[in-house]
Amino acid sequence: MWTLDQLEPEIDDIRVRIQQHRRGLKEYFVARDEEIDLAILCAVAQEPLLLVGPPGTAKSDLVVKLTESLGLGPGDYFEYMLTKFTEPSEILGPIDISVLKEGRYLRRTRGMLPDCRVAFLDEIFKSNSAILNTLLTILNERKFYQDGQPTPVRLTMLFAATNDIPDQSELEAMADRFILKIETKPVKDRHFAELVDAGIMNEAYRATGQKPWARGAASLEDFLKFKRFMDLSFGLGREPGRDRELWFPRPVFAEMRRIVRALETEDKVLVSDRKLVKLYKVIRTQAFLNHGGAVQHADLGLLAYVGNRRDELPVVASKVKALLGLAGG
């Protein structure tokens, strides 16, 4: 595993490549800059991202193009549409019959979710409790159970999509694991001609087997190195509060606290303790990725994506941007 001394000399070059990668990906979509910015950030931070919107709003296309742009190897990408009838073997792998005869309960995971690097799960909230419980363990601890023993998964990036976020108590835990959620809206009313032109080009690429977006400026290794660098940086001070003193100016931190309190007290948007810590890390990661320094006022714009239910998403987005004085508020 890389050390801080190994990563420091190249981290600025990695930052530049990832930024170029993000800009390049945007060329193949119409009015999806926000979604792409979040997808790249979540890929860097290795936090799951939930895309919420009706069919036909480029949710799966975005994930597929991002995945293909990373130059993954065979078996590194897993995609599945979940239903209430989906069985664990469909995403974790079938039971190995040969070892079952010996009394061991092992799954053949090659090409399945535990063995991939990037995954896309469509209609995640339509899955049953067995799938949800398995996914919670994978998201929380990056492991699943083989023959009763915890086994690490290779998964580093998870994207999920849904048409809606059901308001059911048994789904709250899963929804909370996605600290960032973005609503994908149709763009045809504002970008009618551009959408048609881009769609025709995509059809032409598909018909001729071309994937120009696959020539991404950054590799999967760049994303993994960036995450490793951030993990090492967070622990550099070796004392509570040191990272915040160095990288999160007090006025900006106070503003973050004010916004979170306003969302909870005025709009009843729950920000759990777990989510708060993860938000800190993701905001810090975004600041370093975008401008290589301490968190700035504008970096708090990420709080616009902390809504939990479908009806909260536009309310939170509008309120946070207004509180920060950002465009679109």
Q: What's the one-letter identity of residue 285?
A: T
Q: Identify whether the C-beta of residue 114 lies closer than 8 Å to the C-beta of residue 144.
A: yes
Q: What average pLDDT does this structure show over 116-124?
A: 96
Confidence of residue 103 (pLDDT cuts 50, 70, 90): confident
What is d(CA 247, CA 284) in angstroms, rounded to the nearest whole number?
7
Tokens of 130: 């067995």
Decide if pLDDT at 237 tops 70.
no
pLDDT in tens, 160-177: 999 988 887 778 889 999
> Helix, strand, or coil here: 299?
helix
**Alpha-carbon torsion angle 111, 2, 64, 131, nearest 10:** 50
What is d(CA 253, CA 98) in angstroms, rounded to the nearest whole number?
56
Sequence-distant contacts of 5-10: CB under 8 A, at least 24 apart: 7/225, 7/228, 7/229, 7/232, 8/229, 10/225
pLDDT in tens, 238-265: 788 889 999 999 999 999 999 999 999 9
Question: What do you get for the CA distance between the two ends of the chain, in Å?
Answer: 43
Q: Identify whether the C-beta of residue 15 lies closer than 8 Å to the C-beta of residue 226.
A: yes
Question: Please, what is the average pLDDT of the chain?
Answer: 94
Within a 10 A sphere around the Cβ of 58, how many other Cβ atoms?
25
pLDDT in tens, 74-93: 899 999 999 999 999 999 99
Confidence of residue 328 (pLDDT cuts 50, 70, 90): low
CATH number for the region 30-194 comes to 3.40.50.300
Q: Identify whether the C-beta of residue 177 lies closer than 8 Å to the C-beta of residue 48.
A: yes
Where do the structural domains in the chain lie, given as residue ranges? 30-194, 235-323
- Residue 292, judged by CB atoms within 10 A of its CB (0-12, 13-18, 19+), counts as exposed
pTM for the predicted model, two decimal places: 0.95
More confident residue, 166 or 96: 96
Helices of type H across the chain:
4-7, 11-26, 33-45, 59-69, 88-92, 97-100, 129-141, 172-177, 192-208, 220-234, 242-247, 250-267, 273-291, 312-324
Q: What average pLDDT does this structure show over 219-232?
A: 97
